[in-house]
Amino acid sequence: MVATSLLATALVALAQMFAISTRSNIGSRNSTYAAVLAQQKMEELKSLSWGFDQNGLPISDIATDTTQTPEPPAGGTGLSPSPSTSLQENTNGWVDYIDSYGNKLGTGDHAPQNAIYQRRWSVSPLPTNPNNTLVIQVLVSRVKDRGVADQGSVNRLPEEARMITVKTRKAS
């Protein structure tokens, strides 16, 4: 009887540890996938033209649509400055949706039915050098209501990714 009660207690503890481990692994997988999606969007934005031509005149890609694959050279927002609320709400042109296979599903104020993740980004000129330097931010989260996390400076929640970089003009 004592052995049976010890075995039952051990099995209950083991089951609880298994459940905690499973939740932790799922959370880690979601965080990793969000980071990969954020890095992918960051690379797309960093690859857009932002430099000087041979005559020293600035060139800026403000038309490429990075919400589609392949990226059309027109019809998008490129590196144009985003609205100040583009990280706080789904803003057409500064959000795209991703399905469970990592495919882009387009942009818009509302996520399509089969969207799993949403990527929001902002592009803003650096205040100390607005003509030559951009601050790019990308926030990736699962498609859900983020509640108060979307207020103010936009907080990163568990299982989300937020990346920030600076892009400066370079001579071609």
- Determine contact, residues 53/59, Cβ cutoff 8 Å: yes
Q: What is residue 148's predicted lDDT score, i.e. its pLDDT?
A: 87
Q: What is residue 132's predicted lDDT score, i.e. its pLDDT?
A: 94
Q: What is residue 45's predicted lDDT score, i.e. its pLDDT?
A: 97
- Summarised one tens digit per residue, pLDDT across range 9-59 is 999 999 999 899 998 898 899 999 999 999 999 999 999 999 998 898 999
**Residue 76: which pLDDT band, with cuts at 50, 70 and 90?**
very high
Among candidates 135, 152, 119, which has minimal Cα distance to 35?
A: 119
Strands (E), the chain: 50-52, 58-60, 95-98, 117-125, 133-142, 161-168, 170-171
pTM: 0.88
* Mean pLDDT value across residues 67-76: 94
